[in-house]
Structure 1
Amino acid sequence: MSAIKKLAILSAAFGLLAATSGGALAQKKYDPGASDTEIKIGNIMPYSGPASAYGVIAKTEEAYFKKINAEGGINGRKINFISYDDAYSPPKTVEQARKLVESDEALIVFNPLGTPPNTAIQKYLNSKKVPQLFVATGATKWNDPKSFPWTMGWQPNYQSETQIYAKYILKNKPDAKIGILYQNDDYGKDYLKGFKDGLGAKAASMIVLEESYEVSEPTIDSHIVKLKASGADVFINITTPKFAAQAIKKNAEIGWKPLHFLNNVSASIGSVMKPAGFENAQDIISSNYLKDTSDPEWKNDPGMKAFDEFLAKYYPEANRIDSFVMYGYTVAQGLVHVLKASGDNLTRENVMKQAASIKGLEIGSLLPGIRVNTSATDFAPISAVQLQKFKGETWERFGEVIDAEVGG
């Protein structure tokens, strides 16, 4: 072998060695949906149908990701946000989830909305090992890392929320006659279970009527009339926005004035209270973990100023007093935190690992004292709320921030 040939082989070998060690030092790991230039995020939202009021959540997320992309992206990668409508119909949700995973090859399915829709895709996404991350529903079952390691919730869970209402009633109105209206699905039943657990042995004697409605019903007026006729003086309103507004209006129309508790998922001023009529919504009690955009207390708050700047630049047509806009803005920041923490290891496994390693994350739109925390055994990122009462045209918070962990 000639000296020139030997030299050529030797330098090729050195070149290969240099390339391999350089690669080992700066190795990037990708699953479908991630590359050097982009991160593909899938989403499913009811832009149409009975829960269409929630559609602004994904529109806000899309606007927030535009902001992130304009500022250079996540570790230099642009977010490609793909969002589909499922009309709050579980069979449609399944179709859209398959499309996102099998056709679009999204890295994750982020913040899909609704308890029945998420239930319909949970087994599929877990079998495919695709993160079903920060689902937009407070059902208690999303915090089950043992059975469903690829599914994680976001907001405080439903059972905890209604347990807090039950404890408030036991303390402040122990002789209450309680009427309950709930949506006849997993979402409604989860809230109902928490409320009954909170009342404990008193549930049987205190609850005078439970009324369920189907999401396909055009109006819930007849249920409200029945609840009034039952003699209930406390009303537990477990409804999605369209029906919540109907209930508030109907109560006023028939002159029924119970102590009224409204679940957090329908506490939006823009989507529920204003359409129902501020005068009809006075003294309703709910709970929150987000800052209320209509509350003058936050006028000079840095977190609120950042929110307003974001809206002005990236989503000027948004209804500022719609709390679903604030929700979308907040959960989008949660995802950005996780993706940044994932670095150059953009595998689905690592994204879930980072999502399960959040410690004391402060987001400017959360109420003071409320932080995001997760672990390998705790898939409930936010678990604290504060009670609030509707006064004038805004919510007024009262009492302490309560940790809403079930059994906590």
Structure 2
Amino acid sequence: MLKFVGAGLVLSAGLSLPALSQAADMPGVTDTEITIGNIAPYSGPASAYSTIAKTISAYFDKVNEEGGINGRTVNFLSYDDGYSPPKAVEQARKLVESDEVLLIFQSLGTPSNSAIEKYMNMKKVPQLLVATGATKFGNPGEAPWTMGWQPNYQSEGIIYGRWIASEMPDAKIAVMFQNDDFGKDLLNGLKTGLGDKADMVVAEASYEVAEPVVDSQVVKLKASGANVFVSFATPKFAAQGIKKAHEIGWDATQIVANVSNSVGAVLTPAGLEASTGLISTAYLKDMQDPQWADDQGAKDWNAFMDKYYPDGDKLSSFTTYGYSVAQTMVHILDQAGDDLTRENVLKQAASMKDVTLPLFLPGMTMNTTETDYFPIEQMQLMKFNGERWETFGDIISGEVGG
């Protein structure tokens, strides 16, 4: 059930169970409940991502209805930061100091997570499975309480660079990127992957998240004569870039970052015709792909969506993402058992060994250690055929040191 509370949203499920025999003297933990926090952009330029938090909330509804985690239900508190770093800091303080959550989970965006990282580590509160692939969030030596989840942006960029260098050795590449760690990580990875062919990048154009449109950047990049258009942008701007390139007749091979390859949230607004031929990466199954029609994981996801999130967009990859990252959090809490100290929860998060999820592409697993905070380091390339994504090639690993 969704309800507005003050400056944010509380997404919470509250089935009660009989009290456990031992009282829990730990922040965010009682005999019957585990309270975890979340910060998401329900408003602002990245509001398309709010679907992730809504899916997570729905998944915890499911978990709670089925008895919770080791006898405790999950109280999921999710607040809006509008994709604004100062607001993220305000909401993090509220969650930690007022709500006294056990941890903050899936806080979204590179700018927001950068803003709260120092505070979370100073307070020694887990900042787990953050919703950004910025490479900086996999550095336990500098920030031991902060851990990513999705493949990091640098690895993703490397994969694109290697593919272009191999398949399009005479390409001229133009890159549009968000002017922050997100865009810069991907751009650096692209150039790393190109290796001694990094001079194939003939034009770059950055944008700020406060800008309303990126049309001028796309026009500028087309004028460079590039025949490969790489868009390292968040959903709103990625959709604008795809649409504008089509409008001005830029017949280039287009690559779009994994975070912006949702058919429902990006490609449909941009236009499916304009999106045909796009290249991106995947690590989760595409629920629109008929090859998964008889897959049990896909069947379970569809049943979940129908029962717990009927208003959710089944075309949006953000729902499969939210579903899968919520399963990861449940796995960590389940492994922690009744020892729900912040220290032990962090230990479990950093001790995943060959953990797979129902919606992972076959052959993919999660692994973490005390020195490796990147749970997912494998991806597969895919191409949009006008209706759905089709994967091609092999699963590619792209490990990056912390």
Give 3-state SS (helix, strand or coil) of 1:123's partner. Answer: helix
1:174 aligns with 2:146: no
Contact kept, 8 Å, 2:215 with 2:244, in 1: the verdict is yes
Matched, 1:247 2:213: no
Instruction: Kindly state the Cα deviation for residue 312 of structure 1 after the two structures are TM-superposed.
Output: 1.0
> How many aligned residue pairs are there?
382
Moved over 3 A (4+): 26-30
> What corresponds to 1:303 in structure 2?
297
Unpaired runs of at least 5, structure 2: 1-20
How far the C-alpha of 1:213 sits from its partner, in A, is: 0.5
Residue 223 in 1 paired to residue 251 in 2? no
CA distance in 2, matches of 1:220, 1:371: 37
Q: Which has the higher helix share?
A: 1
List aligned pairs for 1:7-156, cutoff 5 A: 30-156=25-151
8 Å Cα contact 2:372/2:401 also seen in 1: no
- Residue 391 of structure 2 corresponds to residue 397 of structure 1: yes
C-alpha contact 1:138 1:153 (8 A) present in aligned 2: yes
Q: Map Cα deviations across residues 40-73 of structure 1 (whole Å, 9 max, x no partner).
A: 0100000100000000100000000000010111
Q: Determine which of 169, 181, 188 is the counterpart of 1:186.
A: 181
* Aligned counterpart, 1:21: none
CA distance in structure 2 between the aligned counterparts of 1:31 and 1:237, rounded to whole angstroms: 44
**1:350 matched to 2:344:** yes
Partners in 2 of 1:178 and 1:106 — Cα distance?
A: 46
Q: CA deviation at 1:201?
A: 3.0
RMSD: 1.2
Aligned to 2:146, the other structure's residue is in SS state coil
Cα distance in 2 for partners of 1:257, 1:106 equals: 50
Aligned partner of residue 399 in structure 2, secondary structure: coil
How far does the alpha carbon of each residue in 1:221-276 deviate from its partner, in whole angstroms, 9 at most, with x for none?
01111111110111110000001111111111000011111100001010001111
Distance 1:30 1:354, change over 3 A: farther
Distance 1:31 1:394 in 2: 46
Counterpart for residue 256 of structure 1:
250
Q: In the alignment, what sits opposite 2:155?
A: 160
Instruction: Quote the Cα distance in structure 2 between the aligned partners of 1:257 and 1:102.
Output: 53
Q: CA deviation at 1:29?
A: 5.3
Q: 1:326 to 1:311 in 2, by over 3 A?
A: same
Q: Which amino acid aligns with 2:316?
A: D
2:5 aligns with none
CA distance in 2, matches of 1:190, 1:177: 20
- Matched position secondary structure for 1:361: coil
Q: Which residue of 2 aligns with 1:363?
A: 357
Q: 2:262 aligns with which of 268, 272, 278?
A: 268
TM-score by length of 1: 0.92
Q: Distance in 2 between matches of 1:283 and 1:404?
A: 24
Aligned to 2:16: none
1:28, CA displacement in angstroms?
6.4
2:201 counterpart of 1:207:
yes
Q: Contact (CA 8 Å) 1:232, 1:258: kept in 2 or not? A: yes
Query: What does residue 10 of structure 1 align with?
Result: none
Q: Indicate the SS of the match to 1:346.
A: coil
CA distance in 1, matches of 2:285, 2:23: 38
The structure whose Rg is larger is: 1
Structure 1 CA distance for aligned equivalents of residues 393 and 401 of structure 2: 20
Do the aligned residues in 2 keep the contact of 1:289 with 1:385 (CA within 8 Å)?
yes
Secondary structure, counterpart of 1:82 in structure 2: strand
Instruction: Please tell me whether the aligned partners of residues 29 and 347 of structure 1 are also in contact (alpha carbons under 8 angstroms).
Output: no
Following TM superposition, by how much is the alpha carbon of 1:407 offset from its aligned partner in structure 2, in angstroms?
A: 7.1
Distance 1:71 1:200 in 2: 51
Structure 1 position 338 matched with structure 2 position 339: no
The residue identity in structure 1 corresponding to 2:188 is K
Is the 2:258–2:280 contact (alpha carbons within 8 Å) kept by the matching residues of 1? yes
Measure, in 2, the Cα distance between the counterparts of 1:310 and 1:119.
Answer: 33
Contact 1:42 1:106 in 2 (8 A): yes
* Contact 2:22–2:31 (CA under 8 A) maintained in structure 1: no
The Cα of 1:202 is off from its aligned counterpart by: 2.2
Matched AA of 1:260:
Q
Percent identity, aligned pairs only, is: 61
Residue pairs, 1:277-288, within 5 angstroms: 277-288=271-282
Q: Secondary structure at the match of 1:44?
A: strand
1:40–1:106: 8 Å Cα contact kept in structure 2?
yes
Distance 1:253 1:235 in 2: 14
**C-alpha separation in 2, matches of 1:352 and 1:144:** 14
Cα pair 1:28 1:345 within 8 Å, conserved: no
Instruction: Tell me the alpha carbon deviations over residues 127-182 of structure 1, each in whole angstroms, 9 at most, x when there is no partner.
Output: 00000000000011111111111000000110010111101111111111110000
